Amino acid sequence: MQRFQNYVLGQWIDGQGVETPLFHAITGQELGSVSSAGIDFAEVLAYGRKNGHALRKMTFQERGRMLKALALYLMERKEKYYQVSAQTGATKIDSWIDIEGGIGNLFANASLRKQFPDLPYYVDGSAAPLSKNGSFIGHHIMVPKEGVAVHINAFNFPIWGMLEKIAVNLMAGVPAVVKPSEYTSFLTEVMVRDIIASQILPEGALQLVCGLGRGILDSVDMRDVVTFTGSAATGKLLKGLPRIAEQSVSFNLEADSLNATVLGEAATPGTEEFDLFVKECVKEITIKAGQKCTAVRRIIVPENLLDEVQAAISARLASTKMGDPAQEGVRMGALATKLQVERVRANVELLAQSQNIVFGNPDAFELVGADAKAGSFFPPILFRNENPLQNTACHDIEAFGPVATIMPYKALDQAIEIAKLGKGSLVSSIVTPNNQEAVDYVVGAASMHGRILVLNKDCAKESTGHGSPMPLLTHGGPGRAGGGEEMGGKRGVLHYLQRTAIQGHPTTITAITQQFQVGAAMPEANPHVFRKHFEELVIGETVFTHKHTVTDADIVNFANVSGDNFYAHMDATSLEGTIFERRVAHGYFILSKAAGLFVDPKKGPVLLNYGIEEARFTKPVYPGATIGVRFTVKEKIDQEKRSPEDIAKGIVKFLVDVYDETGETVALATILTMVKKLQDA
């Protein structure tokens, strides 16, 4: 019998004895066993912390490229994971969500490198002036935490659950110890073997515990981050451990919740939205056999449409074939384990005490190509609750399987009230063609939901649906949902960084942040910055340009070229009551003339100028004013070659500070350029 192993301390090892036997969810065949007994988790955490230096030294650009390489590597091997995923009871679409959805998280987080500096740490926000004359300023930087991320994951997504978390902590520069559910850890183990074999990640960046992991949190400390995905009861138990409080350990809890979907009053039968609602409800009940933390548990519909919605959902459920996903036409597989079947059945029995089953029978259902006694099957169950404000069990008890309750509302305000009875949810949705109805629901319900999907015919074709959290958006929710946040794009990465305020002279803060700060030293560039390659440019070095005196002719000529004949530029008689003393130069003329002053026109390392950021016109420029430019290297960002034939280059941001004869700034902008590297010179 196969022993599924743990990867810790740089090696694959067996735990002592058998903690958990593992079974095929469809056939009931024993697959093997797992154990983590005997593992010294204090050593495991210490090993991750010690080896985390390799990740911390990497820049965000390097970490992003590492994630991209890993995503491509795993995508090439995806068919292997699909074969093993079928043993968890998953259909092809279930496995696609888990496998390719998980790998998609790697790609998405890799792309975030464009939002971070070319440094191992992040520079947060902008400088704060702390003194009258500008010689003392403050800023914030965020550095990788020097601990490990301990991820305790649920059974329902053995791959997505791991990848959506480690993508974020690896991008931040923090190593991980992953503890998947022991029941489906055999699938996680298959992928981790490939990850370790690829040698794409530094050693120690990822460790895997496939067994029960008893004692894994006993040695966490203030440097570490713990995340938990699973039941609210277990999550709260772990979050309340004395060690977590004593060491002030960051704990992120994402718990299963009683998510609700609402049919808007405008989505009447015959509209595309009505049909979308029914389709979405059935999808949420049957995909992953309802084993999703984001699945719809409460279906809230206008009271006059209760019968029609019930009939439509029941009809679609009746046509859904359940059984072995390898058989043609099967659209719903098994639950992950027989233990899960028992838990779902027990909660269905509790719910049945206060509401009626209107579709499905836990004791009588048909399967295609499978044996109900051997596999871990449970049929779709639809309850009807006529009085959701009085019969509240459906707002407290979650059957974590293909189970949902349909209930009525009188007006949208009541639908919002009912949705909030879930005491905090990961996600809610409203299906409506009426935008005002959508606005009212979103604003009214948002305080108790981590995500809200608004679905209508205009977005239906590309919508990812109620149950699909996206890597660039927050996944989490208040109250029962745990109060935590996962993913969330840049927000998620920052969760693994320590924010620290820094104070000092602008020159010193420039050196730390590698971003030019106003008031810092501005050594004159020699030669001109456009004559230097990427590696040769130094943050803060500045070109002080020749000057130009603005004339009426400049304004007229620019108006002729641009077509901008705004009255303030062209009609001196129309200025009464405005802030202008006389006709004023176009702001864009000032920037255009600035370019004429700072550009070195000869061919050199600068390949192109591809954008302007943060352009501001801070003081009117009248004919007779004399302007000059301080052109300063503001920030440098490395860029990878897209192919062997690509030119080696980086992105350089230049601060354009246009000033007048008084020395006062009249315009500010940041331009972005591509600059060739020496290695391609």
Active site residues: 254, 293
Q: Phi first, then psi: what are they for 378, rounded to 5°?
A: -150, 130
State the amino acid at position 128 in one-letter form: A
Q: Using CA atoms, how far apart are residues 108 and 471, in angstroms rounded to an integer?
A: 6
CB 362 within 8 A of CB 405: no
- Measured over all CA atoms, what is the biggest interatomic distance in the chain, rounded to whole angstroms? 93
Q: Reduced to 3 states, what is the DSSP secondary structure of residue 605?
A: coil
Q: Which residue has the tokens 């010690």?
A: 50
Tokens of 154: 């649920």
Cα–Cα distances (Å) from 140 to 220, 497, 573, in that order, read 27, 12, 49
Report the 10 Å Cβ neighbour count for 580: 16
Listed in order, strand segments (DSSP E) in 410-565 are 428-431, 452-455, 474-476, 485-487, 497-504, 542-544, 548-549
The β-bridge relationship of strands 403-409 and 381-384 is parallel
State the amino acid at position 674 in one-letter form: M
Q: Reduced to 3 states, what is the DSSP secondary structure of residue 42?
A: helix
Q: Is the peptide bond before 527 cis (omega within 30 degrees of 0)?
A: yes
The shares of helix, strand and coil residues in the chain, as percent rounded to the nearest 5, are: 35, 25, 40
State the amino acid at position 446 in one-letter form: A
Q: Reduced to 3 states, what is the DSSP secondary structure of residue 380?
A: coil
Q: Using CA atoms, how far apart are residues 679 and 604, in angstroms rounded to an integer?
A: 14
How does DSSP classify residue 447?
A: G
Q: Phi first, then psi: what are they for 533, rounded to 5°?
A: -80, 170
State the amino acid at position 18 in one-letter form: V
Tokens of 111: 């792309």
Q: Reduced to 3 states, what is the DSSP secondary structure of residue 529?
A: helix
Tokens of 500: 């620290």
Q: Reduced to 3 states, what is the DSSP secondary structure of residue 558?
A: helix
CB 569 within 8 A of CB 584: yes
Q: Using CA atoms, how far apart are residues 594 and 600, in angstroms rounded to an integer?
A: 12
3-state SS, one letter per residue, for 130-198: CCCCCCCEEEEEEEECCCCEEEECCCCCCCHHHHHHHHHHHHHCCCEEEECCCCCHHHHHHHHHHHHHH
Tokens of 221: 């400390």
Strand-pair partners of 127: none
Angle 302-394-355 from CA coordinates, rounded to 5°: 80
How does DSSP classify residue 329?
A: T
Report the 10 Å Cβ neighbour count for 149: 27
Tokens of 289: 């056999």
DSSP string, 65-133: HHHHHHHHHHHTTHHHHHHHHGGGT--HHHHHHHHHHHHHHHHHHHHGGGGS-SSSSEEEEEEEE-SSS
